[in-house]
């Protein structure tokens, strides 16, 4: 059985090998709603929200863009960014798929991240736009 530290090390290696800075996108999903702060104290608290998931986009060796996500149940476990990135890499869909397949992928995501995922897909399409 692999220890948690060894597993995190494996996740780190996989994430670093695939998610190259400048050639991939990573966006964290944080606890709490997207809302305006009520006062300075609330603004500080909202700024320091804990991550609970991650969205990734990268161009694969076959020159195809892949988009994926992972989401942690923070009531049961603590979020680790390397484990999150590895799971997001393993749970990707190619943007070369038909629009119906991409819509099915979005429909099968948890309701809480559908809007951020939809916005992230648009961001990834702009980022990886050809020429």
What does the pLDDT look like over 26-83, one tens digit per residue? 999 887 666 667 777 777 776 667 888 999 999 988 888 899 999 988 788 888 999 9
**What is the domain partition of the chain in residue ranges?**
4-127
Identify the helix (H) or strand (E) that includes residue 124: helix 114-127
Q: 110 pLDDT exceeds 80?
A: yes
Phi, psi of 3 (to 5 degrees): -75, 165
* Integer Cα distance of 68 and 46 in angstroms: 25
Task: Decide: helix, strand or coil at residue 33.
Answer: coil
The confidence score (pLDDT) of residue 34 equals 60
- CA dist 115 to 4, 27, 63, 110, Å? 32, 13, 26, 10
The confidence score (pLDDT) of residue 32 equals 67
The region of weakest confidence among 84-88, 106-110, 123-127 is: 106-110
- Of the chain, the percentage scoring pLDDT greater than 70 comes to 91
């Amino acid at each position: 059985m692999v220890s948690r530290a060894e597993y995190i090390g494996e996740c780190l290696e996989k994430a670093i090998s695939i998610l190259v800075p400048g050639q991939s996108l990573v966006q964290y999903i944080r606890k709490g709603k997207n809302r305006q702060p009520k006062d300075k104290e609330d603004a500080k608290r909202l700024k320091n929200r804990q991550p609970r998931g991650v969205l990734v986009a990268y161009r694969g060796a076959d020159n195809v863009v892949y988009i994926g996500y992972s989401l942690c149940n923070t009531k049961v476990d603590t979020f680790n960014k390397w484990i999150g990135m590895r799971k997001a890499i393993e749970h990707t869909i190619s943007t070369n798929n038909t629009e119906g397949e991409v819509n099915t992928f979005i429909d099968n995501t948890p309701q809480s991240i559908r809007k951020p995922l939809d916005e992230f897909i648009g961001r990834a399409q702009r980022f990886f736009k050809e020429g």
